Structure 1
Amino acid sequence: MPKRGYHHGNLRQALIEAALKLIEEKGPTGFTLSEAAKQAGVTPAAVYRHYEGREDLIAECARQGYGIFADLMQHAYESGQPSALAAFEATGRAYLAFARRFPGHYIAMFESGISTNRTPELADVVNRANTVLEKAAGDLSQHIPEDKRPPASMFSAHIWAMSHGVVELFARNSPGKASPFPPEDLLETGIGIYLRGLGLIPGDS
Protein backbone atom coordinates (compact mmCIF):
# COMPACT_ATOMS: atom_id res chain seq x y z
CA MET A 1 0.00 0.00 0.00
CA PRO A 2 1.42 3.46 -0.85
CA LYS A 3 2.46 5.71 1.99
CA ARG A 4 -0.35 8.03 3.00
CA GLY A 5 1.46 11.28 2.22
CA TYR A 6 2.28 10.20 -1.32
CA HIS A 7 -1.12 8.60 -1.80
CA HIS A 8 -2.84 11.90 -1.13
CA GLY A 9 -0.30 13.80 -3.19
CA ASN A 10 0.31 16.40 -0.48
CA LEU A 11 3.17 15.23 1.69
CA ARG A 12 4.11 18.73 2.82
CA GLN A 13 0.67 19.40 4.29
CA ALA A 14 0.51 15.93 5.82
CA LEU A 15 3.79 16.67 7.60
CA ILE A 16 2.53 20.06 8.77
CA GLU A 17 -0.63 18.51 10.20
CA ALA A 18 1.42 15.81 11.91
CA ALA A 19 3.76 18.40 13.37
CA LEU A 20 0.87 20.55 14.62
CA LYS A 21 -0.58 17.58 16.48
CA LEU A 22 2.81 16.76 18.01
CA ILE A 23 3.39 20.41 18.95
CA GLU A 24 0.08 20.44 20.83
CA GLU A 25 0.87 17.18 22.60
CA LYS A 26 4.60 17.54 23.30
CA GLY A 27 5.57 21.14 22.66
CA PRO A 28 7.73 22.47 19.82
CA THR A 29 10.91 20.78 21.04
CA GLY A 30 9.35 17.55 22.29
CA PHE A 31 9.22 15.59 19.03
CA THR A 32 11.52 14.48 16.24
CA LEU A 33 11.21 14.54 12.49
CA SER A 34 10.98 10.77 12.61
CA GLU A 35 7.87 11.05 14.79
CA ALA A 36 6.35 13.57 12.38
CA ALA A 37 7.09 11.21 9.50
CA LYS A 38 5.44 8.32 11.32
CA GLN A 39 2.35 10.44 12.02
CA ALA A 40 2.19 11.42 8.35
CA GLY A 41 2.61 7.81 7.22
CA VAL A 42 5.93 8.23 5.40
CA THR A 43 9.52 7.19 5.96
CA PRO A 44 11.90 9.59 7.77
CA ALA A 45 13.96 9.87 4.59
CA ALA A 46 10.94 11.31 2.77
CA VAL A 47 10.74 14.22 5.21
CA TYR A 48 14.17 15.48 4.23
CA ARG A 49 13.00 15.99 0.66
CA HIS A 50 11.02 18.95 2.01
CA TYR A 51 12.59 20.02 5.32
CA GLU A 52 16.21 20.05 6.41
CA GLY A 53 15.32 19.75 10.08
CA ARG A 54 12.61 20.06 12.71
CA GLU A 55 12.95 23.85 12.92
CA ASP A 56 12.19 24.17 9.21
CA LEU A 57 9.01 22.18 9.69
CA ILE A 58 7.99 24.26 12.72
CA ALA A 59 8.73 27.45 10.78
CA GLU A 60 6.36 26.28 8.05
CA CYS A 61 3.70 25.63 10.70
CA ALA A 62 4.26 29.16 11.97
CA ARG A 63 4.07 30.63 8.46
CA GLN A 64 0.78 28.88 7.84
CA GLY A 65 -0.49 30.02 11.24
CA TYR A 66 0.38 33.64 10.63
CA GLY A 67 -1.48 33.46 7.34
CA ILE A 68 -4.63 32.23 9.08
CA PHE A 69 -4.09 34.76 11.85
CA ALA A 70 -3.72 37.67 9.43
CA ASP A 71 -6.89 36.66 7.59
CA LEU A 72 -8.85 36.45 10.86
CA MET A 73 -7.51 39.82 12.00
CA GLN A 74 -8.40 41.41 8.67
CA HIS A 75 -11.92 39.97 8.81
CA ALA A 76 -12.35 41.20 12.39
CA TYR A 77 -11.13 44.67 11.45
CA GLU A 78 -13.48 44.90 8.48
CA SER A 79 -16.45 43.54 10.44
CA GLY A 80 -16.10 46.36 12.96
CA GLN A 81 -16.23 49.15 10.39
CA PRO A 82 -17.19 51.93 10.13
CA SER A 83 -16.55 52.40 13.86
CA ALA A 84 -12.82 52.67 14.58
CA LEU A 85 -13.41 51.59 18.18
CA ALA A 86 -15.45 48.52 17.20
CA ALA A 87 -12.86 47.52 14.60
CA PHE A 88 -10.04 47.88 17.12
CA GLU A 89 -11.81 45.85 19.80
CA ALA A 90 -12.71 43.16 17.26
CA THR A 91 -9.04 42.60 16.41
CA GLY A 92 -8.28 42.03 20.09
CA ARG A 93 -11.01 39.42 20.36
CA ALA A 94 -9.76 37.77 17.16
CA TYR A 95 -6.39 37.15 18.83
CA LEU A 96 -8.04 35.22 21.64
CA ALA A 97 -10.26 33.28 19.25
CA PHE A 98 -7.27 32.29 17.11
CA ALA A 99 -5.30 30.97 20.09
CA ARG A 100 -8.21 28.76 21.10
CA ARG A 101 -9.06 27.47 17.65
CA PHE A 102 -5.51 26.89 16.38
CA PRO A 103 -3.36 25.96 19.40
CA GLY A 104 -0.71 24.12 17.38
CA HIS A 105 -0.20 27.06 15.07
CA TYR A 106 -0.21 29.46 18.03
CA ILE A 107 2.55 27.53 19.81
CA ALA A 108 4.64 27.33 16.64
CA MET A 109 4.26 31.08 16.14
CA PHE A 110 4.84 32.36 19.64
CA GLU A 111 6.43 29.66 21.78
CA SER A 112 8.84 27.79 19.53
CA GLY A 113 11.67 30.32 19.49
CA ILE A 114 11.56 30.42 15.67
CA SER A 115 12.63 33.82 14.34
CA THR A 116 9.97 35.64 12.38
CA ASN A 117 12.73 36.51 9.90
CA ARG A 118 13.77 32.90 9.34
CA THR A 119 12.43 33.01 5.79
CA PRO A 120 11.20 35.87 3.59
CA GLU A 121 7.81 34.16 3.30
CA LEU A 122 7.42 34.00 7.08
CA ALA A 123 8.53 37.61 7.52
CA ASP A 124 6.04 38.78 4.89
CA VAL A 125 3.03 37.15 6.49
CA VAL A 126 4.07 38.30 9.99
CA ASN A 127 4.24 41.84 8.63
CA ARG A 128 0.76 41.45 7.14
CA ALA A 129 -0.67 40.44 10.52
CA ASN A 130 1.11 43.31 12.28
CA THR A 131 -0.14 45.78 9.70
CA VAL A 132 -3.80 44.95 10.39
CA LEU A 133 -3.52 45.70 14.10
CA GLU A 134 -1.43 48.81 13.47
CA LYS A 135 -4.05 50.02 11.00
CA ALA A 136 -6.79 49.53 13.59
CA ALA A 137 -4.71 51.34 16.21
CA GLY A 138 -3.88 54.15 13.81
CA ASP A 139 -7.54 54.68 12.90
CA LEU A 140 -8.54 54.88 16.55
CA SER A 141 -5.64 57.09 17.62
CA GLN A 142 -6.75 59.80 15.19
CA HIS A 143 -9.15 60.84 17.95
CA ILE A 144 -6.20 61.73 20.19
CA PRO A 145 -4.58 65.19 19.85
CA GLU A 146 -1.47 64.82 17.72
CA ASP A 147 0.90 66.03 20.46
CA LYS A 148 -0.42 63.33 22.82
CA ARG A 149 -0.85 60.55 20.28
CA PRO A 150 1.33 57.44 20.69
CA PRO A 151 2.80 55.88 17.53
CA ALA A 152 0.40 53.34 16.04
CA SER A 153 3.10 50.67 16.34
CA MET A 154 3.40 51.29 20.09
CA PHE A 155 -0.38 51.43 20.50
CA SER A 156 -0.83 48.11 18.72
CA ALA A 157 2.12 46.53 20.57
CA HIS A 158 0.48 47.34 23.91
CA ILE A 159 -2.74 45.62 22.87
CA TRP A 160 -0.86 42.69 21.35
CA ALA A 161 1.05 42.24 24.63
CA MET A 162 -2.14 42.42 26.67
CA SER A 163 -3.89 39.92 24.43
CA HIS A 164 -0.91 37.58 24.53
CA GLY A 165 -0.77 37.78 28.33
CA VAL A 166 -4.43 36.88 28.72
CA VAL A 167 -4.02 33.95 26.33
CA GLU A 168 -0.88 32.62 28.03
CA LEU A 169 -2.10 32.97 31.60
CA PHE A 170 -5.80 32.23 31.38
CA ALA A 171 -6.91 30.88 27.99
CA ARG A 172 -4.59 27.91 27.46
CA ASN A 173 -5.17 25.98 30.69
CA SER A 174 -1.80 26.90 32.19
CA PRO A 175 -1.29 24.90 35.41
CA GLY A 176 -2.07 26.91 38.52
CA LYS A 177 -3.27 29.92 36.57
CA ALA A 178 -7.01 29.92 37.19
CA SER A 179 -9.02 33.12 36.93
CA PRO A 180 -12.52 33.77 38.32
CA PHE A 181 -13.25 35.74 35.14
CA PRO A 182 -13.61 34.55 31.55
CA PRO A 183 -10.58 35.44 29.40
CA GLU A 184 -12.85 37.45 27.08
CA ASP A 185 -13.92 39.65 30.02
CA LEU A 186 -10.34 40.11 31.19
CA LEU A 187 -9.25 41.20 27.73
CA GLU A 188 -12.24 43.50 27.18
CA THR A 189 -11.86 45.26 30.52
CA GLY A 190 -8.08 45.52 30.12
CA ILE A 191 -8.46 47.14 26.71
CA GLY A 192 -11.15 49.41 28.17
CA ILE A 193 -8.82 50.62 30.92
CA TYR A 194 -6.08 51.27 28.38
CA LEU A 195 -8.38 53.21 26.06
CA ARG A 196 -9.78 55.28 28.93
CA GLY A 197 -6.22 56.20 29.86
CA LEU A 198 -5.75 57.56 26.35
CA GLY A 199 -9.07 59.41 26.52
CA LEU A 200 -10.58 57.37 23.70
CA ILE A 201 -13.61 56.23 25.65
CA PRO A 202 -15.32 58.04 28.53
CA GLY A 203 -14.48 57.14 32.10
CA ASP A 204 -16.96 55.67 34.55
CA SER A 205 -19.33 58.20 36.00
Structure 2
Amino acid sequence: MPKRGYHHGNLRQALVDAALELIEEKGPTGFTLSEAAKRAGVTPAAVYRHFDGREDLIAEAARQGYEIFADLMAYAYDDGRPSALAAFEATGRAYLAFARKHPGHYIAMFESGISVNHSPELAALSARARGIPERAAAELSQHIPPEKRPPPSMVSAHVWAFSHGVVELFARNSPGTQSPFPPEALLESGIGIYLRGLGLIPPD
Protein backbone atom coordinates (compact mmCIF):
# COMPACT_ATOMS: atom_id res chain seq x y z
CA MET A 1 0.00 0.00 0.00
CA PRO A 2 1.65 3.31 -1.03
CA LYS A 3 2.02 6.01 1.55
CA ARG A 4 -0.58 8.77 1.20
CA GLY A 5 -0.04 11.12 4.15
CA TYR A 6 2.78 13.61 4.05
CA HIS A 7 3.51 12.53 0.47
CA HIS A 8 0.77 14.71 -0.97
CA GLY A 9 0.56 17.21 1.86
CA ASN A 10 -2.94 16.43 3.12
CA LEU A 11 -2.56 14.01 6.00
CA ARG A 12 -5.99 14.79 7.43
CA GLN A 13 -7.79 13.74 4.24
CA ALA A 14 -5.48 10.74 3.77
CA LEU A 15 -6.57 9.50 7.20
CA VAL A 16 -10.25 10.02 6.35
CA ASP A 17 -9.80 8.13 3.08
CA ALA A 18 -8.07 5.30 4.94
CA ALA A 19 -10.86 5.21 7.50
CA LEU A 20 -13.50 5.05 4.76
CA GLU A 21 -11.78 2.03 3.21
CA LEU A 22 -11.52 0.31 6.60
CA ILE A 23 -15.15 1.10 7.43
CA GLU A 24 -16.23 -0.61 4.20
CA GLU A 25 -14.02 -3.62 4.89
CA LYS A 26 -14.43 -4.07 8.64
CA GLY A 27 -17.25 -1.86 9.82
CA PRO A 28 -17.00 1.31 11.92
CA THR A 29 -15.84 -0.53 15.05
CA GLY A 30 -13.67 -3.13 13.35
CA PHE A 31 -10.47 -1.14 12.93
CA THR A 32 -8.04 0.82 15.09
CA LEU A 33 -6.43 4.20 14.69
CA SER A 34 -3.14 2.39 14.21
CA GLU A 35 -4.59 0.57 11.18
CA ALA A 36 -5.86 3.84 9.72
CA ALA A 37 -2.45 5.44 10.28
CA LYS A 38 -0.64 2.50 8.68
CA ARG A 39 -2.91 2.60 5.64
CA ALA A 40 -2.33 6.35 5.30
CA GLY A 41 1.42 5.75 5.56
CA VAL A 42 2.12 7.56 8.84
CA THR A 43 2.78 6.69 12.47
CA PRO A 44 -0.14 6.35 14.94
CA ALA A 45 1.08 9.43 16.78
CA ALA A 46 0.56 11.52 13.64
CA VAL A 47 -3.19 10.85 13.77
CA TYR A 48 -3.54 12.91 16.94
CA ARG A 49 -2.33 16.02 15.16
CA HIS A 50 -5.71 16.06 13.42
CA PHE A 51 -8.15 13.89 15.39
CA ASP A 52 -8.80 13.28 19.07
CA GLY A 53 -9.49 9.59 18.48
CA ARG A 54 -11.25 7.08 16.26
CA GLU A 55 -14.69 8.56 16.97
CA ASP A 56 -13.49 11.97 15.86
CA LEU A 57 -12.05 10.44 12.67
CA ILE A 58 -15.29 8.62 11.87
CA ALA A 59 -17.27 11.79 12.63
CA GLU A 60 -15.23 13.63 9.99
CA ALA A 61 -15.98 10.84 7.50
CA ALA A 62 -19.67 11.24 8.39
CA ARG A 63 -19.48 15.03 8.02
CA GLN A 64 -18.02 14.71 4.53
CA GLY A 65 -20.68 12.13 3.72
CA TYR A 66 -23.49 14.42 4.82
CA GLU A 67 -22.04 17.20 2.68
CA ILE A 68 -22.10 14.95 -0.41
CA PHE A 69 -25.50 13.57 0.57
CA ALA A 70 -27.12 16.96 1.09
CA ASP A 71 -25.83 18.20 -2.27
CA LEU A 72 -27.12 15.06 -3.99
CA MET A 73 -30.54 15.36 -2.35
CA ALA A 74 -30.76 19.05 -3.28
CA TYR A 75 -29.86 18.29 -6.89
CA ALA A 76 -32.43 15.47 -7.05
CA TYR A 77 -35.12 17.76 -5.67
CA ASP A 78 -34.37 20.83 -7.79
CA ASP A 79 -33.39 19.31 -11.12
CA GLY A 80 -36.36 20.56 -13.14
CA ARG A 81 -38.85 18.02 -11.81
CA PRO A 82 -42.31 18.37 -13.39
CA SER A 83 -44.20 17.98 -10.10
CA ALA A 84 -43.81 17.90 -6.34
CA LEU A 85 -44.39 14.14 -6.44
CA ALA A 86 -41.61 13.61 -8.98
CA ALA A 87 -39.26 15.71 -6.86
CA PHE A 88 -40.19 13.77 -3.74
CA GLU A 89 -39.60 10.41 -5.43
CA ALA A 90 -36.29 11.68 -6.81
CA THR A 91 -34.99 12.29 -3.30
CA GLY A 92 -35.77 8.67 -2.44
CA ARG A 93 -33.83 7.44 -5.46
CA ALA A 94 -30.97 9.75 -4.49
CA TYR A 95 -30.81 7.99 -1.12
CA LEU A 96 -30.34 4.64 -2.87
CA ALA A 97 -27.75 6.07 -5.25
CA PHE A 98 -25.76 7.59 -2.40
CA ALA A 99 -25.71 4.33 -0.42
CA ARG A 100 -24.39 2.45 -3.44
CA LYS A 101 -21.80 4.98 -4.54
CA HIS A 102 -20.51 6.02 -1.11
CA PRO A 103 -20.82 2.96 1.17
CA GLY A 104 -18.08 4.07 3.57
CA HIS A 105 -19.68 7.46 4.08
CA TYR A 106 -23.13 5.87 4.39
CA ILE A 107 -21.96 3.51 7.14
CA ALA A 108 -20.16 6.33 8.98
CA MET A 109 -23.31 8.44 8.85
CA PHE A 110 -25.98 5.90 9.71
CA GLU A 111 -24.38 2.83 11.27
CA SER A 112 -21.43 4.03 13.32
CA GLY A 113 -23.31 5.34 16.33
CA ILE A 114 -21.81 8.81 15.81
CA SER A 115 -24.31 11.47 16.84
CA VAL A 116 -25.17 14.17 14.31
CA ASN A 117 -24.58 16.55 17.21
CA HIS A 118 -20.91 15.55 17.39
CA SER A 119 -20.12 18.97 15.93
CA PRO A 120 -22.15 22.03 14.90
CA GLU A 121 -21.15 21.55 11.26
CA LEU A 122 -22.23 17.91 11.23
CA ALA A 123 -25.55 18.87 12.82
CA ALA A 124 -26.11 21.64 10.26
CA LEU A 125 -25.37 19.37 7.28
CA SER A 126 -27.64 16.65 8.67
CA ALA A 127 -30.44 19.18 9.14
CA ARG A 128 -29.95 20.45 5.60
CA ALA A 129 -30.29 16.93 4.20
CA ARG A 130 -33.40 16.22 6.28
CA GLY A 131 -34.93 19.52 5.28
CA ILE A 132 -35.05 18.69 1.57
CA PRO A 133 -37.63 15.85 1.75
CA GLU A 134 -39.53 17.90 4.35
CA ARG A 135 -39.85 20.71 1.77
CA ALA A 136 -41.05 18.21 -0.79
CA ALA A 137 -43.62 16.80 1.65
CA ALA A 138 -44.87 20.30 2.44
CA GLU A 139 -45.37 20.99 -1.27
CA LEU A 140 -47.23 17.72 -1.76
CA SER A 141 -49.70 18.52 1.01
CA GLN A 142 -50.70 22.02 -0.11
CA HIS A 143 -54.08 20.84 -1.41
CA ILE A 144 -55.03 19.36 1.98
CA PRO A 145 -56.76 21.62 4.54
CA PRO A 146 -54.24 22.67 7.21
CA GLU A 147 -56.15 20.95 10.01
CA LYS A 148 -55.94 17.62 8.12
CA ARG A 149 -52.43 18.06 6.76
CA PRO A 150 -49.79 15.66 8.14
CA PRO A 151 -46.63 17.30 9.47
CA PRO A 152 -44.01 17.38 6.68
CA SER A 153 -41.36 16.21 9.16
CA MET A 154 -43.40 13.09 9.90
CA VAL A 155 -43.94 12.30 6.21
CA SER A 156 -40.27 12.77 5.37
CA ALA A 157 -39.21 10.71 8.41
CA HIS A 158 -41.44 7.82 7.31
CA VAL A 159 -40.11 7.93 3.75
CA TRP A 160 -36.53 8.27 5.02
CA ALA A 161 -37.06 5.16 7.18
CA PHE A 162 -38.59 3.32 4.24
CA SER A 163 -35.65 4.28 2.01
CA HIS A 164 -33.20 3.15 4.67
CA GLY A 165 -34.97 -0.18 4.97
CA VAL A 166 -34.83 -0.80 1.23
CA VAL A 167 -31.12 0.03 1.23
CA GLU A 168 -30.34 -2.24 4.16
CA LEU A 169 -32.41 -5.20 3.01
CA PHE A 170 -32.15 -5.13 -0.75
CA ALA A 171 -29.60 -2.62 -2.07
CA ARG A 172 -26.42 -3.68 -0.26
CA ASN A 173 -26.27 -7.35 -1.24
CA SER A 174 -27.13 -8.64 2.21
CA PRO A 175 -26.95 -12.46 2.16
CA GLY A 176 -30.31 -14.16 1.88
CA THR A 177 -32.30 -11.00 1.25
CA GLN A 178 -32.48 -10.76 -2.52
CA SER A 179 -35.72 -9.21 -3.69
CA PRO A 180 -37.49 -10.25 -6.90
CA PHE A 181 -37.93 -6.53 -7.60
CA PRO A 182 -35.31 -3.82 -8.16
CA PRO A 183 -34.78 -1.63 -5.07
CA GLU A 184 -35.88 1.44 -7.04
CA ALA A 185 -39.19 -0.24 -7.92
CA LEU A 186 -39.76 -1.24 -4.29
CA LEU A 187 -39.07 2.29 -3.14
CA GLU A 188 -41.23 4.01 -5.75
CA SER A 189 -44.24 1.71 -5.23
CA GLY A 190 -43.92 1.92 -1.45
CA ILE A 191 -43.77 5.71 -1.49
CA GLY A 192 -46.81 5.81 -3.78
CA ILE A 193 -48.87 3.55 -1.51
CA TYR A 194 -47.88 5.55 1.56
CA LEU A 195 -48.62 8.95 0.03
CA ARG A 196 -51.99 7.80 -1.34
CA GLY A 197 -52.88 6.43 2.07
CA LEU A 198 -52.29 9.88 3.54
CA GLY A 199 -54.28 11.53 0.78
CA LEU A 200 -51.23 13.46 -0.42
CA ILE A 201 -51.66 12.24 -3.98
CA PRO A 202 -54.83 11.05 -5.75
CA PRO A 203 -55.47 7.35 -6.43
CA ASP A 204 -54.56 5.94 -9.83
Provide the TM-score with structure 1 as the length reference: 0.95
CA contact (8 A) 1:80 1:86 kept: no
Q: Specify the alignment match of 1:140 in structure 2.
A: 140
Query: 1:4 deviation in Å?
Result: 3.1
Is the 1:80–1:90 contact (alpha carbons within 8 Å) kept by the matching residues of 2?
no
Give the match for residue 194 of structure 1: 194
Question: How big is the shift at 1:103?
Answer: 0.3
Equivalent in the alignment of 2:40? 40
Q: Which residue of 1 aligns with 2:103?
A: 103
1:45-64 → structure 2 map (5 Å cutoff): 45-64=45-64
Structure 1's consecutive aligned runs of 4 or more residues displaced over 3 angstroms after TM superposition are none
For 1:68, the aligned partner's letter is I
Q: Which amino acid aligns with 2:164?
A: H
Q: Which amino acid aligns with 2:59?
A: A
Aligned-pair CA distance for 1:82: 4.8
Instruction: Specify the code of the residue in structure 2 equivalent to 1:91.
Output: T
Distance 2:194 2:80 in 1: 19
Structure 2: how far apart are the matches of 1:82 and 1:181? 26
Secondary structure of 1:4's aligned partner: coil
Unpaired stretches in structure 2, ≥5 consecutive residues: none
Query: Would you say the 8 A contact 1:33–1:44 is kept in 2?
Result: yes
- Look up the match of 2:75: 75
Deviation at 1:203, TM superposition (A): 2.3
Aligned-partner Cα distance in 2 for 1:4–1:130: 34
What amino acid is aligned across from residue 158 of structure 2 in structure 1?
Answer: H
CA displacement at 1:79 relative to structure 2: 1.2
Aligned-residue sequence identity (percent) comes to 80
1:6 equivalent in alignment to 2:6: yes
Query: Contact 1:70–1:128 at 8 Å: present in 2 too?
Result: yes
1-structure distance, mates of 2:39, 2:7: 14
Structure 1: gaps of 5 or more residues: none
The answer for the alignment partner of 1:167 in structure 2 is: 167
Q: Which amino acid aligns with 1:185?
A: A
Contact 2:140 2:201 in 1 (8 A): no
In the alignment, what sits opposite 1:130?
130
Distance 2:141 2:12 in 1: 42
Match of 2:117 in 1: 117
Q: What is the CA–CA distance in structure 2 between the aligned matches of 1:192 and 1:148, rounded to whole Å?
A: 19
Q: Which residue of 1 aligns with 2:149?
A: 149
Q: Which whole-Å CA distance do the structure 1 matches of 2:87 and 2:193 have between them?
A: 17
Question: Aligned pair count?
Answer: 203
In structure 2, relative to structure 1, the CA distance for the partners of 1:197 and 1:125 (3 Å cut) is same
